[in-house]
Structure 1
Amino acid sequence: MRRPQLLHLGGRPRQHAEREPRHRRFCRSSVALTVGLLLTGCAGGVEPGDAASPGPAALPEGVAVEIVQLRADVAVRQAQVHIVNGSDADLEIGDVAVDDPRFVAPATRVLPGRTSRVPAGGEVDIRVQLPDVACARDDVEPSEPTVALGFTVDGAAGTARVTADDPLGFLAPLHERECRAAALAEAATLAFTGFMPAPTGEPARLELTVTPTGGGSATLVAVQATNLLDFGPATVDGAFPLDVTVAPDDIAPIVVDIPILPSRCDPHAVQEDKRGTIFDVRLTLAGDPGEIELFVGDALRGDILTWVSSWCGFAGTP
């Protein structure tokens, strides 16, 4: 400023015809951003050191930029810079850097050094890796992210800095959750540490380990069900109660066995799972309620999805 993945990488743009459903989702913000680009793009310029080869300082009129995070991006803590080229000129996008005061550093391409061609009338998603959140900067007012783009148009290279919209509104909640997780780490660390499958009709066991760190207190209230897994008869208001309290002088780990059952048995849900093994944990810190997200990890995710396939009785593995 964390599945099988179905999203294309930044270097592989799609045409409007291929992405029509998603384009409709973003069209309203894209129109608004086009106006914003006319205002903010002019403030961008060629980076120092490029004076010998001056290029355009603004993107062509009609280019819109957004930053989005889809379900497949959550576990790997990535996002996508979504660029719609509504101009009449083909674009090539090089370096990408998303700057936001809620992060300790800019978010940059997952695959550095790549370029992405965006033909006139086309669009592209460029995946970026999110850096750590900046939790000690309470004095910084939240603001829209800005994106620095290295680009080439009509054979001329330039650099533009534009304001990007967050149409799905993911940045503020992500910052809040991860800063709460950092505060929780002063009292305890949480991790899913084991999984024991069960025969069809019976709940499996997911092991949650709470390890006190001696630096504070916290109360873990409940683990919420996901779109793929719930807790069967142990479900209370869509969650499994934990009622675990950690005090500053606690040192012994606390292990909680969580019963889990598939909440759905259609193969599509497993084969295209993106968030089924990311659990929201409700907690209280310093008297303030909140939530964090806790991923089971890649190894346990594979074990759980394989078990769901077997438990549900359909062929194939996720």
Structure 2
Amino acid sequence: MPLVVARAGRARRRPAPAAAVAAAVLAGTLTACGPPAPTPSTTTPAPTATDAGPLPDDVARALAVEVAQARTDRVARVVELRVRNAGPVDVTVVEGRLTTATTAAPAVTEKEREIRGGSTRAMRAALAAPTCPAVATGTAGPDPAPVVELDVVDAEGRAGTVRVVPTDETDDLRRVHGEDCAAAAVAAGLRLGLDDALVTREEDGRPVADLVLRVEPVAGGPHVRLVQVGGTTLLRPAAALGPWVVDVDSAHPPADGRVVLPVVPARCDVHAIAEDKRGTVLGVRAVVDGVEQPELYVAASAQLRGALHEFVRAACGVPDDART
């Protein structure tokens, strides 16, 4: 079970009682792993910022946190702190802070949340810059060792900071760190991006779109080879059902800096198009200085995303106003 320690603390701003509250963000890479996350421990209570006194221990110990990441938040590197209040007392979390050994600074929640007794609510927080090794290792890195601090106040105005060791059931923090450091390692030797322009044509009687991956070597950077570009839930290679097998070498890049990826729709059901979340984000496999890296991702711009959706709708014969 998560270890929870409460201490009376200064709330960053004093919210109204719970009933009134209910009515009323890839940055640069460091060259060494940052300091480990703090270990939860008992602290000496500090003076309370409210007249009501400190948050009771039983209220604090009823709080637990799970860290998770929605698919739609992967590009933005945003995670959710899913705060569970197992007790009977309604509380407001004024602010949450996630500290890990794999990021340079805490991730701070965007806004406060009232969490009624017996309920769970998610609080979004953008991860800080990753701490990556100077030399690409191809691994997901150290244990993230996450710790969450919650600034909490209850309906009576009793306030405190609750420190929790969260769960991470799907190991999202380790996965994100691997993706971040792979992207940084590749970017040090080869810049990647997708052209906004999308050329469509007909091949063997079917519509095909030419998606262009731009590659630009970085002078003095590590040796990078791109070996594979993956399809998505929305797009697949025109010539195969699997990924695009490529061989792009930073020492001998394409003369025009372009890798053309002919695409066709991977599926044509209305739901796949209308509810698309990751269909225009391509997974790339690379080798840096001989070390295979975790998969990294290259996302389409808003302009290209719109063009790809339009292409898929047209190729599938789906009206623009179709709904699930």
TM interval, short-chain normalised: 0.7 to 0.9
Asked whether the equivalents of residues 195 and 206 of structure 1 are also in contact (C-alpha less than 8 Å), the reply is: yes
The structure-2 alpha-carbon separation of the partners of 1:52 and 1:158, relative to structure 1 and needing over 3 Å to count, comes to closer
Asked whether the equivalents of residues 11 and 151 of structure 2 are also in contact (C-alpha less than 8 Å), the reply is: no
Bigger helix fraction? 1
Residue by residue over 1:179-217, the C-alpha shift from the partner in whole angstroms, topping out at 9 and shown as x without a partner, is 121111221100001322346822101010100111221
Structure 2 residue 214 is the aligned partner of structure 1 residue 209: yes
The structure-2 alpha-carbon separation of the partners of 1:311 and 1:300, relative to structure 1 and needing over 3 Å to count, comes to same
The structure-2 alpha-carbon separation of the partners of 1:282 and 1:52, relative to structure 1 and needing over 3 Å to count, comes to closer
TM-score for the superposition, normalised by structure 2: 0.77
The structure-2 alpha-carbon separation of the partners of 1:171 and 1:152, relative to structure 1 and needing over 3 Å to count, comes to same
Asked whether the equivalents of residues 224 and 279 of structure 1 are also in contact (C-alpha less than 8 Å), the reply is: yes
Q: Rg bigger for which structure?
A: 2
- Describe how 1:241-256 pairs up with structure 2 within 5 A: 241-247=245-251, 254-256=257-259
Asked whether the equivalents of residues 85 and 118 of structure 1 are also in contact (C-alpha less than 8 Å), the reply is: yes
The corresponding residue for 1:152 is: 153
Distance in 2 between residues matched to 1:317 and 1:96, nearest whole Å:
40
- How many residue pairs get aligned? The number is 274
- Describe how 1:25-36 pairs up with structure 2 within 5 A: 35-36=1-2
Measured after TM superposition, the shift of residue 60 of structure 1 is 3.4
Distance in 1 between residues matched to 2:321 and 2:299, nearest whole Å:
20
Measured after TM superposition, the shift of residue 250 of structure 1 is 6.7
SS in 1 for 2:4: helix
Residue by residue over 1:106-162, the C-alpha shift from the partner in whole angstroms, topping out at 9 and shown as x without a partner, is 1112x3xx3211111211111111121111489x95243111111112421111111
SS in 2 for 1:42: strand
- Describe how 1:196-235 pairs up with structure 2 within 5 A: 196-198=199-201, 201-214=206-219, 215-235=221-241
Moved over 3 A (4+): 47-50, 57-62, 197-200, 249-253
Deviates more, 1:282-291 or 1:198-207: 198-207
The structure-2 alpha-carbon separation of the partners of 1:252 and 1:244, relative to structure 1 and needing over 3 Å to count, comes to same
Measured after TM superposition, the shift of residue 77 of structure 1 is 1.6
The corresponding residue for 2:166 is: 164
The corresponding residue for 1:127 is: 124
The structure-2 alpha-carbon separation of the partners of 1:129 and 1:48, relative to structure 1 and needing over 3 Å to count, comes to closer
CA RMSD of aligned residues (A): 2.5
Measured after TM superposition, the shift of residue 232 of structure 1 is 2.5
Residue by residue over 1:11-50, the C-alpha shift from the partner in whole angstroms, topping out at 9 and shown as x without a partner, is xxxxxxxxxxxxxxxxxxxxxxxx32xxx32265525996
Letter in 2 for 1:169: D
Same amino acid, percent of matched pairs: 28
